[in-house]
């Protein structure tokens, strides 16, 4: 067996693919690797001869360290590094090998460190191959644990630095991957008696496995979710306890209603004893089932703030106190009628509100599912080829330039570029594009996408937080944290809400006590408690953020990254949408569209000869012709006597035939009779194409037309945008004729042609000056100012990072349908927010006055505190449930 020097694969000897060089035979796994080697064998030979990073201590206390170095460009670099390292105390030998890109250092143990040597190399302007890793550690309790772990880690070969944080229960370790592995680092910590876990992936995986063994696979559970589940269970237990106890309480609180025998009726001694029992029975309900109301209210009170807990705690306390006094000291009340009890209010309100809180936790967990799904897309491990060996390592350990092997059906772990092999890749989880994309050498692959058919190797170009998925997660999280302008109304209200409700309750009590019917104190108390327990600050506070969270998450699932709540809100108010032509409406890359022949020439003949001529040209149109011929597998030959005639075209000799390729002027210059081809040429130009006449051996052979092809779904998307009531404008630097032709084909009436890149933003501004809310859709660097100028900038994600940075919404899939979807989603989310806000305001705005007794003077109606408690419990559940409806949002066009 031998190793392929290009990809490192094991190859059976003798291999079908080999190269003999300088008396040595190199074996390859494929023709592709063989060709790559042939192009520049020295790169691979040097790589093969590279020394592995090593580290050892000799008996005389000398440490010998070999480190890989990146970025060596010349032999003088070697001297610079050696000089810097030698300056360190205790360094005996510092040698850098330019060919192998390795530094060999020998130093006295204890006088310097790996960290200092790497520091010196850095100071010289070079990087050593190093990686940073975060490991979670459980079981640390104090500062001494921290220093013990740090000290032990730093003593290990290959560890550059180690920093342990007690607060986050983690260690950040910088190390040289070749010198030490993740498992070694974990061993060091575990041997000290602590438990380790990777910060990402590991724990979730473990939990999922645990659940799988129980027979059902549930979504991966993170620590917060576990806390939420625990809280849900606790609340449900509290609810059941309060609910069971409330049944007899309701029975004896309304003896008339249930037709209880006489001895249970009001005024009897038995009922008084029963009520006394209720007074004591209600204590565990208040202080266990309702403990969170008291602790929450007290904590808030100390912070000079008030919340839902304040309202409930005050309400049930007032009801209990009054009832307890009425049972224990009935004689202080002027009449028996006044000595009424409200223990039922305590039991029922606690039970219902606790149930509401439990249901809310459940529903809220669902609304953040989108981000959980995105995190769950990450691969856990990568099969990396290091030192000629394939090893599965945790994704956190993958470093830049690692060669990663992916087999069919596997998830691509990080972003990179294919260096060997080809396949089709399902990128739908990132782009929303359902059709798998073909990938060949040199193509980019995105982490989290799934390899479908073939095996390939790729070089990691982005790892950790730089991968596309990590950035998408970060963007979504940021957007979910932002505020939609509509939220400002709630913000202004919420700060005043709870104290205002308390004041209202007090004033209602006073009003009923002074002006109410007999028995005043009973009515006053009922009204006081009802106002407190019906007001729901939670519904108001949740209304906007919960819908925003679902809406932004839904966008991410469909390949639309909405960067802020403001963008989401503005998108549904748009009047005009400006579409950049190249790369947005069209593919942005010219392609061969027509080959028209005359004088008996054959299509393939005309195309092959034209493409052969154009092989010598680097013009984008020439590239399109060559690509067109290659796609048809035509044989191309090298042109001779190639001559470019500026402003006209090109001429050359191919296989002894004289070929002219150019415009009308070119044909006239060489007096070629076109025999009606001019008419065809005009027709093609009217279609937005660029026609070129071809003449072979001084005879008109035909026309070759090239055009930037319109994306297949652009027309449909534009029609849909119009249907949404938007004025669609196209902007381009192209000439009016081509621009209008494209505009006509896709159904755009207003075309702004011949616009210089720097004037795009100005044109957007002109539209804004017409009083319109304008969105700009583009992909190029030259679109960035216009994207920033527009009320909403939508960047096509296949474009440049600059455009994405300047945009408010990024469409990962390079299709205009994403614009339609973004606007539809924006409208749906804003509708949902408005429903929630209306519900919350309407509920509180109507509920509080009714609870205060507004209807009593007119209809004799007074709300029961029990109904008010139920209303409070379910108002926030309603809001969250309504927001979750958005999760079912389906684009009308996909």
Partner 1 sequence: MVLDQILVIIGGLALSTWVAWYFWFSEKEAVKIQAAAGGIQEAVIKVKGGYTPDVLIFEAGKPIKLNFVREETAACTEEVIFSDLNKRATLTPFKTIPVELTIDKPGEYGFQCGMGMVKGKLIVQ
Judged by CB under 8 A, does residue 113 bind partner 1? no
Judged by CB under 8 A, does residue 668 bind partner 1? no
DSSP 8-state class, residue 411 = B
CA distance 161 to 151: 10
Residue corresponding to tokens 């006394």: 276
DSSP secondary structure, 160-188, as one string: EEEEEETTTTEEEEEE-TTT--HHHHHHH
Nearer to partner 1, 141 or 859 (CB): 141
Helices (H), 710-800: 714-723, 736-746, 760-769, 784-789
Judged by CB under 8 A, does residue 481 bind partner 1? yes
Binders of partner 1 in range 255-294 (CB under 8 A): 292
Judged by CB under 8 A, does residue 228 bind partner 1? yes
One of 70, 147, 295, 387 touching partner 1 (CB under 8 A): 295
Binders of partner 1 in range 165-224 (CB under 8 A): 167-169, 223-224
Count interface residues toward partner 1 (CB under 8 A): 62
One of 36, 186, 238, 309 touching partner 1 (CB under 8 A): 309
Judged by CB under 8 A, does residue 302 bind partner 1? yes
**Shortest reach from residue 313's CB to partner 1, in Å:** 11
**Shortest reach from residue 345's CB to partner 1, in Å:** 21
How many residues are present in the chain? Answer: 894
Binders of partner 1 in range 339-368 (CB under 8 A): 357, 360-361, 364
Between strands 750-752 and 727-731, the pairing is: parallel
CA distance 47 to 238: 67
**Shortest reach from residue 548's CB to partner 1, in Å:** 10
Rounded to 5 degrees, φ, ψ at 675 are 50, 55
Residue among 344, 415, 420, 580 flagged as catalytic: 580
**Shortest reach from residue 147's CB to partner 1, in Å:** 17
Question: Any idea of the CA torsion for 135, 136, 141, 144, to the nearest 10 degrees?
Answer: 0
Would you call the peptide bond into 525 cis, given omega within 30 degrees of 0 as the criterion? no
Binders of partner 1 in range 526-585 (CB under 8 A): 537-538, 540-542, 545-546, 564-565
CA distance 75 to 73: 7
One of 99, 507, 518, 846 touching partner 1 (CB under 8 A): 507
**Shortest reach from residue 503's CB to partner 1, in Å:** 4
DSSP secondary structure, 325-358, as one string: HHHH-GGGSSSGGG----HHHHHHHHHHHHHHHH
Nearer to partner 1, 167 or 259 (CB): 167
DSSP 8-state class, residue 211 = H
One of 217, 227, 244, 270 touching partner 1 (CB under 8 A): 227
Between strands 560-562 and 657-662, the pairing is: unpaired
**Shortest reach from residue 564's CB to partner 1, in Å:** 7
CA distance 526 to 512: 10
**Shortest reach from residue 65's CB to partner 1, in Å:** 29
CA distance 94 to 894: 62
Judged by CB under 8 A, does residue 132 bind partner 1? no
One of 133, 297, 384, 796 touching partner 1 (CB under 8 A): 297
Nearer to partner 1, 309 or 711 (CB): 309
Burial 876-887 (b: 16+ CB within 10 A, else e): bbbbbbbbbebe
In contact, 784 and 771? CB cutoff 8 Å:
no
One of 305, 434, 668, 698 touching partner 1 (CB under 8 A): 305
3-state secondary structure of 576: strand
CA distance 239 to 358: 9
Judged by CB under 8 A, does residue 234 bind partner 1? yes
| Catalytic site includes residue 580 | yes
One of 301, 333, 670, 856 touching partner 1 (CB under 8 A): 301
Nearer to partner 1, 507 or 846 (CB): 507
Judged by CB under 8 A, does residue 143 bind partner 1? no
Which residues would be at the binding site for partner 1 (CB under 8 A)?
167-169, 223-224, 227-228, 230-231, 234, 292, 295-309, 357, 360-361, 364, 477-483, 487, 490-491, 494-496, 498-499, 502-503, 506-507, 509-510, 513-514, 537-538, 540-542, 545-546, 564-565
Active site residues: 580
């Amino acid at each position: 067996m031998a190793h392929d020097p290009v990809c490192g694969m094991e190859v059976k000897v003798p291999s079908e693919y080999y190269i003999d060089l300088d008396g040595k035979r190199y074996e390859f796994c494929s023709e592709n690797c063989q060709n790559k080697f042939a192009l520049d064998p020295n790169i691979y030979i040097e790589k093969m001869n590279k020394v592995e990073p090593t580290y050892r201590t000799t008996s005389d206390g000398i440490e010998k360290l070999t480190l890989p170095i990146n970025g060596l460009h010349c032999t003088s670099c070697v001297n610079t590094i050696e000089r810097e390292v030698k300056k360190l105390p205790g360094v005996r030998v510092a040698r850098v090998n330019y060919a192998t890109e390795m530094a060999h250092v020998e130093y006295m143990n204890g006088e310097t460190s790996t960290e200092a040597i790497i520091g010196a190399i850095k100071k010289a302007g070079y990087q050593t191959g190093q990686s940073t890793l975060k490991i979670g550690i459980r079981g640390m309790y104090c500062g001494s644990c921290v220093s013990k772990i740090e000290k032990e880690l730093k003593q290990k070969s290959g560890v550059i630095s180690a920093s342990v944080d007690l607060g986050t229960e983690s260690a950040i370790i910088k190390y040289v991957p070749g010198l030490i592995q993740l498992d070694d680092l974990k061993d060091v910590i575990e041997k000290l008696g602590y438990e380790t876990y990777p910060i990402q992936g590991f724990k979730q995986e473990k939990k999922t496995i645990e659940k799988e063994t129980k027979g059902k696979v549930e979504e991966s559970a993170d620590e917060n979710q576990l806390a939420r589940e625990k809280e849900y269970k606790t609340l449900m237990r509290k609810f059941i306890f309060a609910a069971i106890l409330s049944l007899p309480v309701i029975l004896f609180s309304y003896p008339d209603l249930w037709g209880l025998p006489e001895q249970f009726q009001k005024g009897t001694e038995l009922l008084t004893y029963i009520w006394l029992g209720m007074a004591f029975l209600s204590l565990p309900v208040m202080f266990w089932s309702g403990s969170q109301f008291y602790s929450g209210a007290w904590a808030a009170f100390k912070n000079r703030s008030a919340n839902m807990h304040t309202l409930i705690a005050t309400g049930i306390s007032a009801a209990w106190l009054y009832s307890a006094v009425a049972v224990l000291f009935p004689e202080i009340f002027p009449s028996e009628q006044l000595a009424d009890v409200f223990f039922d209010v305590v039991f029922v309100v606690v039970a219902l509100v606790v149930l509401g809180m439990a249901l809310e936790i459940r529903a809220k967990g669902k609304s953040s599912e989108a981000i959980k799904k995105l995190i769950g897309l990450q691969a856990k491990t990568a099969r990396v080829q290091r030192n000629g060996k394939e090893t599965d390592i945790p994704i956190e350990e993958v470093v830049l330039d690692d060669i990663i092997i992916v087999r069919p059906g596997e998830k691509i772990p990080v972003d990179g570029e294919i260096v060997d092999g080809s396949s089709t890749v399902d990128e739908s989880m990132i782009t929303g594009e359902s059709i798998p994309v073909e990938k060949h050498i040199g193509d980019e692959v995105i982490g989290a996408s799934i390899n479908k058919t073939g095996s390939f190797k790729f070089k990691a170009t982005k790892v950790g937080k730089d991968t596309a998925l990590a950035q998408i997660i970060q963007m979504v999280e940021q957007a979910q944290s932002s505020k939609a302008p509509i939220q400002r109304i709630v913000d202004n209200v919420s700060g005043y809400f709870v104290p205002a409700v308390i004041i209202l309750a007090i004033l209602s009590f006073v009003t009923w006590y002074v002006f109410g019917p007999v028995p005043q104190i009973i009515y006053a108390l009922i009204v006081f408690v009802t106002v407190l327990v019906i007001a729901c600050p939670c519904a108001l506070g949740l209304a906007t953020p919960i819908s925003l969270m679902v809406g932004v998450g839904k966008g991410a699932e469909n390949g639309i990254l909405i960067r802020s709540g403001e963008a989401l809100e503005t998108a549904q108010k748009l009047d005009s949408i400006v579409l950049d032509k190249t790369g947005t409406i069209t593919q942005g890359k010219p392609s061969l569209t027509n080959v028209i022949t005359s004088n008996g020439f054959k299509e393939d003949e005309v195309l092959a000869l034209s493409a052969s001529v154009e092989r010598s040209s680097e013009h984008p149109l020439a590239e399109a012709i060559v690509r067109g011929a290659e796609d048809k597998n035509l044989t191309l030959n090298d042109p001779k006597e190639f001559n470019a005639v500026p402003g006209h075209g090109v001429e050359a000799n191919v296989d002894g035939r004289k070929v002219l390729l150019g415009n009308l002027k070119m044909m006239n210059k060489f007096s070629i009779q076109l025999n009606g081809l001019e008419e065809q040429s005009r027709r093609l130009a009217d279609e937005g194409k660029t026609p070129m006449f071809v003449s072979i051996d001084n005879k008109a052979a035909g026309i070759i037309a090239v055009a930037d092809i319109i994306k297949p779904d652009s027309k449909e998307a534009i029609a849909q945008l119009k249907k949404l009531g938007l004025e669609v404008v196209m902007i381009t630097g192209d000439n009016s004729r081509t621009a209008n032709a494209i505009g006509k084909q896709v159904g755009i009436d207003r075309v702004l042609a011949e616009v210089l890149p720097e004037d795009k933003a100005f044109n957007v501004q002109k539209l804004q000056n017409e009083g319109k809310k304008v969105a700009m859709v583009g992909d190029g660097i030259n679109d960035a100012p216009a994207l920033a100028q527009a009320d909403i900038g939508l960047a096509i994600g296949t474009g440049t990072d600059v455009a994405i940075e300047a945009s408010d919404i990024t469409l990962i899939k390079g299709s205009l349908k994403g614009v339609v979807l973004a606007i539809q989603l924006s409208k749906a989310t804003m509708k949902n927010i408005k429903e929630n806000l209306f519900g919350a305001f309407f509920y509180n705005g109507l509920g509080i006055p009714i609870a205060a007794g507004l209807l009593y003077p007119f209809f004799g109606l007074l709300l029961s505190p029990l109904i008010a408690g139920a209303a409070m419990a379910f108002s926030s559940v309603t809001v969250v449930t309504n927001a979750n409806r958005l999760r079912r949002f389906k684009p009308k066009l996909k």
